[in-house]
């Protein structure tokens, strides 16, 4: 808190500050200055070499200092976990009221794990509707229990809440734009971070920069629709699949507090995003007729994990690391979870802030995250490859989602983030049904092509 | 020899000769019977030269052509054992019944393109490139005339065989390509052995095998196909394999497709593991 008060007392407008100490950043570092850690090291050979750093030098007279760049769910939860662990934390966010365009769906386990208050959640979706390219609608969610739901949040609300919690735990939240990073001169030297600080009165926004990697765009319009139509969306979210809506993703209508978010996304055909959005609106035409668009937003979304997620004493978390799933495009939970995991790894490696850490500690977080969630990502990747190939495959997908077993497996794995191996007999039946659906869909397509003029 | 590919189908040339000018008999596909038609063309080339290129020779050509059109006259004077002998002899009898004057012995068909024991290729040039059809014609006719000029027909025969091999190979390649698009299954594709001597039928109707023939037979069996011979060359109808040349091409393409599919499937895994791959020893910093 002390540093926050000093910033307010100094000049308004931009001022360059150099920040010495450790921090985490959202940009990829290039170049490695390698040096062997002194003393004995524990070497565990798993995916790579992971070294513990119990022999790292003690920090004298001060706590470990960590900077978190970016104050979304990942940054917020990381800062909170760090601060709680006794580490001196700075959270740098360029736009404190940012509402990232996002479906805003969070799974049930997030509410529990992160202790989110229920008033944060605008809507509790218990009915999902999947609509195929030929407008066959399937209701998903029959297997949900009475207390199970998908939470719909507004990002500006969620992010602010998490940042607030981090501040309460002792982290300093700085409204500033991260500019650049300076590598340490030698081993054990400090990283230097340069950022532009905005005065709280001015409420700076700063520019957003995207790295040059393959990414998807999410495009969303917030539409306020009449109350009668809003009733339909009271507990229902819709997913539209089809070539018209997106070649490699889906279009959605998700309810928020008093409006709906209609959006779509794509990786391969970014230039046609407006066309896809128009098609989504067209597909939902009857249900959102009479609505007014109150906001249009778009944002790049990562579509695969970055090649280097940890380097030196810098680690990537959340969207910066590329933790958005395929097929469903879910990112909020994984961002928050990865932030927390990384923070916990740092706290443990530094023994509550009393020691310097090194790359080995950060790799522990990577290992833990990969081990826990890689199967989920892989399964979703396979689903995407299998079912988003063509309209015929999407028809098969929707047909399969009508199956109760599928719904149960899907929701269980989504809500609780565990890929649960089900009953093998049922799994086999599922496999057979999948193939059958795909074959049927393709066969039907041929028949339809014959009929079409 | 390779220029055979460039030339149009020889049979059609024979047909053209037969249909357009002489209105003789049915279409004939293989060289020996078509010799019935060949002489006319060569005659037109040959005779003017013999007649010193005089204008009158043209008419003389026509007359002589008409006379010579039943071409058995030069043939029947020879004692070759061609399978079409029957036909020629019939023709010859017909001639005799007609009572037209036949001066078989007198006609000695000289082909001026035969120079010093071999064909002078320069004289076969047509439109700037060699007219292989004419070479085949000349050689086949000449051999039928029992080496009138000295050729034994092997040249023409070989070229004919090569042409046949190549067209069937082209057809087979095309079929194989098409079939590889549908997964590689095909029936009745043609493997044409380039070596006509692998299998020979001796008089006792027994097959004698050369080593190559054995290999081919093994190949045919392994690829679920059977061998069939035709006029001294070997054709292999394959149910599951194809010619070496286009099988390699098909395998190559299949391998490429499989590789692409594999890469597509494992790309995501690679992206996930990328951060672990560059963990070189000594990478840690304090």
pLDDT in tens, B241-286: 445 555 666 677 888 888 888 888 888 888 888 888 765 443 333 2
- Binned at pLDDT 50, 70 and 90, residue A102 comes out as confident
pLDDT in tens, B194-252: 444 444 444 444 444 455 556 656 655 555 444 444 444 444 444 444 455 556 666 77
- Binned at pLDDT 50, 70 and 90, residue A90 comes out as very high
- Binned at pLDDT 50, 70 and 90, residue A35 comes out as very low
> What pLDDT score was predicted for residue B113?
76
> What pLDDT score was predicted for residue A336?
95
Judged against a pLDDT cut of 80, whether residue A94 lies above it is answered with yes
Instruction: Please list every residue in chain B whose beta carbon sits closer than 8 Å to the beta carbon of residue A381.
Output: 268
- Binned at pLDDT 50, 70 and 90, residue B13 comes out as very low
> What pLDDT score was predicted for residue B213?
53
Q: What is the pTM of this model?
A: 0.59
Instruction: Please list every residue in chain A whose beta carbon sits closer than 8 Å to the beta carbon of residue B283.
Output: 32, 34, 49, 359
In Å, how far is B284's CA from the nearest CA of chain A?
5
> What pLDDT score was predicted for residue A453?
55
More confident residue, B117 or A54: B117
Q: Do A377 and B272 touch (CB under 8 A)?
A: yes
Closest in A48, A56, A381 to B286, CB measured: A56
Q: With both helix axes pointing from N to C terminus, report the angle between B154-181 and B132-144 in degrees, rounded to the nearest 10.
A: 130
Judged against a pLDDT cut of 60, whether residue A63 lies above it is answered with yes
- Binned at pLDDT 50, 70 and 90, residue B53 comes out as very low
Helices (H), chain B: 10-16, 31-34, 38-50, 56-68, 72-76, 85-98, 132-144, 154-181, 211-222, 244-277
Q: Quick one: closest CA in A to B275, which residue?
A: A308
Three-class SS of residue B224?
coil
> What pLDDT score was predicted for residue B216?
58
Three-class SS of residue B175?
helix
Mean pLDDT of A50-74: 76
Q: Look at residues B272, B278, B268, B273 and name the one whose alpha carbon lies nearest to residue A311.
A: B278
Q: Quick one: closest CA in B to A385, which residue?
A: B265
- Binned at pLDDT 50, 70 and 90, residue B135 comes out as confident
Average pLDDT, chain B: 55
How many contacts, defined by CB atoms under 8 Å, are there between A and B?
Answer: 76
> What pLDDT score was predicted for residue A74?
95
Q: Do B273 and A381 touch (CB under 8 A)?
A: no
Percent of the residues in chain A that have a pLDDT greater than 70, as a whole number: 82
Three-class SS of residue B207?
strand
Which one of A17-31, A128-142, A196-210 scores highest in mean pLDDT? A128-142
More confident residue, B253 or A241: A241
Q: Tell me the residues of chain A between 287 and 306 that have a Cβ less than 8 Å away from chain B.
A: 304-306
A300-337 residues labelled b (16+ CB within 10 A) or e (exposed): bbbbbbbbbbbbbbbbbbbbbbbbbbbbbbbbbbbbbb
Judged against a pLDDT cut of 90, whether residue A240 lies above it is answered with yes
Judged against a pLDDT cut of 80, whether residue B83 lies above it is answered with no
Q: Say if residues A55 and A41 touch (Cβ distance below 8 Å).
A: yes
Q: Do A381 and B268 touch (CB under 8 A)?
A: yes
Which of A63-72, A219-228, A232-241, B135-144 shows the lowest mean pLDDT across its residues? Answer: B135-144
> What pLDDT score was predicted for residue A58?
76
Specify burial of residue B69 (Cβ count, 10 A radius: 0-12, 13-18, 19+).
middle
Q: Look at residues A240, A185, A256 and name the one whose alpha carbon lies nearest to residue B285.
A: A185
> Please, what is the Cα angle at A115 between A252 and A326, to 5 degrees?
35
Specify burial of residue A227 (Cβ count, 10 A radius: 0-12, 13-18, 19+).
exposed
> Please, what is the Cα angle at A333 between A275 and A263, to 5 degrees?
15
Judged against a pLDDT cut of 50, whether residue B153 lies above it is answered with yes
Mean pLDDT of B92-104: 44
- Binned at pLDDT 50, 70 and 90, residue A205 comes out as low
- Binned at pLDDT 50, 70 and 90, residue B125 comes out as confident
> What pLDDT score was predicted for residue A116?
94
Instruction: Please list every residue in chain A whose beta carbon sits closer than 8 Å to the beta carbon of residue B275.
Output: 305-310, 366
- Does A188 reach chain B within 8 Å, measured CB to CB? yes
More confident residue, B156 or B247: B156
In Å, how far is A421's CA from the nearest CA of chain B?
21
CA distances from B170 to A388, B166, B174, B176 (A): 40, 6, 6, 10
> What pLDDT score was predicted for residue B178?
62
Sign of CA dihedral A419, A425, A428, A432: negative
Which of A20-29, A305-314, A416-425, B131-140 shows the lowest mean pLDDT across its residues? Answer: A20-29
Q: Say if residues A232 and A263 touch (Cβ distance below 8 Å).
A: no
Judged against a pLDDT cut of 50, whether residue B188 lies above it is answered with no
The conformation of residue B282, written as its DSSP 8-state character, comes to T
> What pLDDT score was predicted for residue A19?
38
Closest in A51, A322, A378 to B284, CB measured: A51
- Binned at pLDDT 50, 70 and 90, residue A239 comes out as very high
More confident residue, A338 or B23: A338
Judged against a pLDDT cut of 80, whether residue A321 lies above it is answered with yes
For residues B212 and A82, give the distance between their C-alpha atoms in angstroms, rounded to a whole number.
78
More confident residue, B148 or A246: A246
Judged against a pLDDT cut of 70, whether residue A347 lies above it is answered with yes
- Binned at pLDDT 50, 70 and 90, residue A382 comes out as confident
> What pLDDT score was predicted for residue B218?
60
The structure tokens 């994990």 sit at A305
- Binned at pLDDT 50, 70 and 90, residue A251 comes out as very high
For residues A345 and A366, give the distance between their C-alpha atoms in angstroms, rounded to a whole number.
9
CA distances from A115 to A110, A162, B153 (A): 8, 10, 97
Q: Quick one: closest CA in B to A350, which residue?
A: B286
Q: Do B286 and A57 touch (CB under 8 A)?
A: yes
Mean pLDDT of A203-210: 56
More confident residue, B154 or B77: B154
**What are the tokens at A387?**
């079912």
Instruction: Please list every residue in chain B whose beta carbon sits closer than 8 Å to the beta carbon of residue A326.
Output: 268
Average pLDDT, chain A: 80
**What are the tokens at B14?**
């024979």
For residues A355 and B48, give the distance between their C-alpha atoms in angstroms, rounded to a whole number.
110
> What pLDDT score was predicted for residue A29?
34
For residues A72 and A321, give the distance between their C-alpha atoms in angstroms, rounded to a whole number.
13
Three-class SS of residue B200?
strand
More confident residue, B108 or A263: A263
- Most B CBs within 10 Å, among A22, A28, A36, to test the B interface: A36
Q: Do B284 and A36 touch (CB under 8 A)?
A: yes
Judged against a pLDDT cut of 80, whether residue A293 lies above it is answered with yes
For residues A141 and A144, give the distance between their C-alpha atoms in angstroms, rounded to a whole number.
5
> Please, what is the Cα angle at A253 between A273 and A249, to 5 degrees?
45
- Does B230 reach chain A within 8 Å, measured CB to CB? no
Mean pLDDT of B90-109: 44
Mean pLDDT of A228-233: 90
Judged against a pLDDT cut of 80, whether residue A106 lies above it is answered with yes
- What does DSSP say about strands B189-192 and B233-238: parallel, antiparallel, or unpaired? antiparallel
Judged against a pLDDT cut of 60, whether residue A17 lies above it is answered with no
Instruction: Please list every residue in chain B whose beta carbon sits closer than 8 Å to the beta carbon of residue A374.
Output: 272
Instruction: Please list every residue in chain A whose beta carbon sits closer than 8 Å to the beta carbon of residue B270.
Output: none
Mean pLDDT of A92-120: 89
Closest in A358, A374, A377 to B284, CB measured: A358
Q: Do A49 and B281 touch (CB under 8 A)?
A: yes
> What pLDDT score was predicted for residue B269?
87
> What pLDDT score was predicted for residue B14?
42
> What pLDDT score was predicted for residue A337?
95
> What pLDDT score was predicted for residue B96?
43
- What does DSSP say about strands B199-201 and B207-209: parallel, antiparallel, or unpaired? antiparallel
Q: Do A188 and B264 touch (CB under 8 A)?
A: no
- Binned at pLDDT 50, 70 and 90, residue A357 comes out as confident
Mean pLDDT of A214-230: 90
Percent of the residues in chain A that have a pLDDT greater than 90, as a whole number: 35
Q: Look at residues A430, A433, A427, A440 and name the one whose alpha carbon lies nearest to residue A393.
A: A440
Q: Tell me the residues of chain A between 48 and 67 that have a Cβ less than 8 Å away from chain B.
A: 48-49, 51, 53, 56-57
Q: Do A37 and B274 touch (CB under 8 A)?
A: no
In Å, how far is A304's CA from the nearest CA of chain B?
7
């Amino acid at each position: 808190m002390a540093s926050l008060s000093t910033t307010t007392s100094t000049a308004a407008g931009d001022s360059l500050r150099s920040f010495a100490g450790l921090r985490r950043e959202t940009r990829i570092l290039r170049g490695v200055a390698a040096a062997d850690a002194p003393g004995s090291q524990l070497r565990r050979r798993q995916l790579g070499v992971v070294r513990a750093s119990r022999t790292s030098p003690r920090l004298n007279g001060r706590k470990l200092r960590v900077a978190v760049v970016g104050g979304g769910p990942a940054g917020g939860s990381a800062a909170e976990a760090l601060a709680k662990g006794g580490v001196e934390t700075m959270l740098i966010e360029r736009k404190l009221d940012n509402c990232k365009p996002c479906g805003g769906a969070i799974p049930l386990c997030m509410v529990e794990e992160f202790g989110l208050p229920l008033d944060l959640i605008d809507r509790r979706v218990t009915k999902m509707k999947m609509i195929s390219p030929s407008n066959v609608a399937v209701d998903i969610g029959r297997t949900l229990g009475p207390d199970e739901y998908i939470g719909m949040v507004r990002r500006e609300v969620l992010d602010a809440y998490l940042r607030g919690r981090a501040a309460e735990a002792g982290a300093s939240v700085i409204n500033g734009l991260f500019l650049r990073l300076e590598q340490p001169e030698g081993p054990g030297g400090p990283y230097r971070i340069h950022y532009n600080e905005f005065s709280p009165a001015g409420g700076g926004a700063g520019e957003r920069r995207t790295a040059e990697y393959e990414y998807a765009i999410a495009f969303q319009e917030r539409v306020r629709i009449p109350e009668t139509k809003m009733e339909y969306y009271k507990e229902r979210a819709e997913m539209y699949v089809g070539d018209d809506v997106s070649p490699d993703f889906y279009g959605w209508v998700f309810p928020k507090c008093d409006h709906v978010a209609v959006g779509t996304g794509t990786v391969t055909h970014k230039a046609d995003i407006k066309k896809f959005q128009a098609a989504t609106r067209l597909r939902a035409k009857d249900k959102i007729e009479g609505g007014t668009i109150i906001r249009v937003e778009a944002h790049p979304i990562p579509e695969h994990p970055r090649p280097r997620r940890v380097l030196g004493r810098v680690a990537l978390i959340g969207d910066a690391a590329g933790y958005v799933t395929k097929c469903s495009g879910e990112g909020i939970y994984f961002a928050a979870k990865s932030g927390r995991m990384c923070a916990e790894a740092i706290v443990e490696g530094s023994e509550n802030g009393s020691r310097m850490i090194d790359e080995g500690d950060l790799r522990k977080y990577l290992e833990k995250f990969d081990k826990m969630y890689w199967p989920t990502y892989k399964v979703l990747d396979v689903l995407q490859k299998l079912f988003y190939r063509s309209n015929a495959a999407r028809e098969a997908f929707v047909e399969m989602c009508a199956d109760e077993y599928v719904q149960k497996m899907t929701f269980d794995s989504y809500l609780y983030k565990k890929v649960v191996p089900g009953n093998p007999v049922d799994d086999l039946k599922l496999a057979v049904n999948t193939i059958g659906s795909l074959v049927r869909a393709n066969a039907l397509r041929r028949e339809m092509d014959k009929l079409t003029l | 020899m390779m220029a055979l590919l460039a030339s149009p189908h020889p049979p059609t040339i024979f047909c053209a000769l037969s249909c357009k000018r002489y209105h003789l008999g049915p279409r004939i596909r293989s060289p020996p019977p078509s010799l019935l038609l060949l002489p006319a063309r060569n005659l037109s080339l040959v005779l003017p030269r013999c007649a010193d290129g005089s204008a009158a020779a043209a008419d003389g050509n026509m007359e002589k052509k008409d006379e010579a059109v039943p071409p058995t006259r030069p043939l029947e004077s020879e004692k070759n054992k061609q399978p079409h002998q029957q036909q020629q002899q019939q023709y010859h009898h017909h001639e005799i019944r007609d009572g037209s004057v036949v001066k078989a012995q007198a006609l000695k068909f000289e082909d001026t393109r035969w120079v010093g024991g071999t064909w002078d290729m320069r004289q076969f040039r047509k439109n700037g490139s060699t007219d292989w059809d004419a070479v085949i014609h000349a050689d086949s006719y000449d051999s039928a005339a029992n080496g009138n000029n000295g050729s034994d027909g092997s040249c023409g025969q070989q070229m004919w065989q090569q042409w046949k091999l190549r067209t069937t190979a082209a057809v087979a390649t095309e079929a194989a390509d098409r079939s590889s698009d549908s997964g590689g299954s095909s029936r009745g594709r043609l493997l044409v052995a380039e070596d006509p001597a692998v299998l020979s039928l001796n008089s006792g109707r027994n097959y004698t095998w050369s080593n190559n023939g054995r290999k081919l037979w093994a190949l045919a069996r392994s690829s679920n196909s059977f061998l069939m011979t035709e006029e001294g060359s070997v054709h292999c109808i394959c149910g599951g394999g194809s010619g070496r040349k286009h099988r390699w091409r098909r395998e190559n393409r299949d391998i490429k497709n499989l590789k692409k599919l594999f890469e597509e499937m494992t790309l995501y895994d690679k992206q996930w593991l990328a951060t672990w791959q560059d963990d070189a020893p000594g990478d840690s910093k304090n």
